[in-house]
Amino acid sequence: MDNFTFYSPTYFAFGKGTENEAGHYVKRFGGSKVLIHYGGGSVVRSGLLDRVKASLEKEGLGWVELGGVKPNPRSGLVYEGIELCRRENVDFILAVGGGSTIDSSKAIAVGTVYDGDFWDFYQGKAQAEKSLPVGSVLTIAAAGSEGSDGSVITNENGMYKRAYGCELMRPVFAIMNPELTMTLPPYQTASGCTDIMAHVFERYFTNTKHVEITDRLCEGVLKTIIKELPKVLDNPNDYEARANIMWAGTMAHNDVCGVGREQDWASHNLEHELSALYDCAHGAGLAVMFPAWMTYVMHHDVDRFAQFAVRVWGCEMNFENPEETAKEGIARTKEFFRSVGMPTSFEELGAKGEDIPTLLSTLQIEGRTEGHFVELGPKECEEVYRLACR
């Protein structure tokens, strides 16, 4: 196990009706003028937005609002939010929605108090030194942004996605009521759970040795999704299954599963270009990319893939030929994605093989590599994309 530091200060309020305490937590964490940031439709139709506003009013807090967040959140709305916060002297951002809304809120929070262009952070040209505090009312179990220090934004000038993370971005509180996820369409539920699994995969497939504790944590989160996702697809109102999935999403990405071990993240970065170009669901893109990446890198550490197959999928270990066990684990992963309605190829996603040069161009891979488990240069990234076409 490698040396590590771990700091995760988010205050979690989990359970039924907790959204009605949003104002209490904003006030507790120092907010007085709030930007309520959200997507649109569902939070309005369900009455959630009104309940959040009522909770702020109950605490005597002022607020302004900015809706319109889309999946794969856009830079244009971030700029609009920064301008609004400065004009209205906002001192707290409250994200009401899923990972896209929280990611957009984080970008607004660091951009509002920065003299330059917030995109400097996402391009690696600057590091945030301060931020407005961010709180969240979570409506989908997926990205884990409610407990993470990261954010991903799509730049509309070129339509490419970039990630940025720093401890200042970690939300000060997260309100998590599993009931709020019950109205999600099956595809969105499955896509979110795929994202949760992918966050674990990025940590699980590592070159670091002697990481049994985090291996077991990763495996536990994966097995939870494998067990609970079919339940909620069959019965969307299964509160206990929804609760387990929601907490699994947080555990998958607040880095408790990733400390002390090298992480990869090539598959996420390869997928970012898919969802930027085709505007597909991030989880759906990951369902396409991860089996392809697994197939390409498996021979780097067959034993780890065989361990994954045995511990997560219950495959029988073939001691004479562990490669067969490793391949079975990859096949079971792909089969599970299909069983819950996820695409597993470019064609099913609506992507095109002829667009691979465009994907590589926006990935900006020339002269560098992606990933750590196996470092992927331009030719290797192209091959992973080609495998995803099959």
Same domain, yes or no: 378 and 276 = yes
Question: What are the respective helix, strand and coil percentages of the chain, to the nearest 5?
Answer: 55, 10, 35
* Helix/strand/coil for 164: strand
Q: φ, ψ for residue 95 (rounded to 5)?
A: -90, 125
Place of tokens 């969105």: 188
Residue 50: inside a domain, yes or no? yes
- Dist CA 164 CA 290 (whole Å): 22
Cα–chain-centroid distance for residue 268? 9
Nearest CA to 93 among 148, 153, 137, 40? 137
Where residue 345 falls among pLDDT bands split at 50, 70, 90? very high
Residue 4: inside a domain, yes or no? no
Residue 242: inside a domain, yes or no? yes
Same domain, yes or no: 285 and 334 = yes
Rounded to the nearest integer, the mean pLDDT of the chain is: 97
Cβ atoms < 10 Å from Cβ of 262: 14
Residue 159 has pLDDT above 90, yes or no: no
CATH number of the domain encompassing residue 171: 3.40.50.1970
Same domain, yes or no: 150 and 210 = no
Find the mean pLDDT for residues 4-21: 96
What share of the chain in percent tops pLDDT 90? Answer: 97
Enumerate long-range contacts of 184-188, CB under 8 Å, 24 or more apart. 184/140, 184/236, 186/233, 186/236, 186/341, 187/281, 187/284, 187/341, 188/140, 188/281
Where residue 365 falls among pLDDT bands split at 50, 70, 90? very high
CATH number of the domain encompassing residue 339: 1.20.1090.10
First-residue to last-residue Cα distance in the chain:
37
- Number of structural domains (the chain) is 2
Same domain, yes or no: 310 and 200 = yes
Question: In this structure, are residues 45 and 72 in contact, taking their beta carbons and an 8 Å threshold?
Answer: no
What share of the chain in percent tops pLDDT 70? Answer: 100
Residue 237 has pLDDT above 90, yes or no: yes
Same domain, yes or no: 137 and 221 = no
Same domain, yes or no: 173 and 208 = no
Residue 160 has pLDDT above 90, yes or no: no
Where residue 42 falls among pLDDT bands split at 50, 70, 90? confident
Find the mean pLDDT for residues 56-78: 96
End residue of a domain, out of 156, 180, 204: 180
Q: Print the domain residue range for 133.
A: 11-180
Residue 283 has pLDDT above 90, yes or no: yes
Q: Assign residue 316 a region: left if phi > 0, alpha if psi is -120 to 50, beta otherwise?
A: beta
Same domain, yes or no: 170 and 65 = yes
End residue of a domain, out of 180, 198, 231: 180
Same domain, yes or no: 212 and 90 = no
Predicted pLDDT at 158: 85
Same domain, yes or no: 44 and 84 = yes
Where residue 135 falls among pLDDT bands split at 50, 70, 90? very high
Predicted pLDDT at 263: 98
Same domain, yes or no: 288 and 323 = yes
Same domain, yes or no: 111 and 52 = yes
Predicted pLDDT at 100: 95
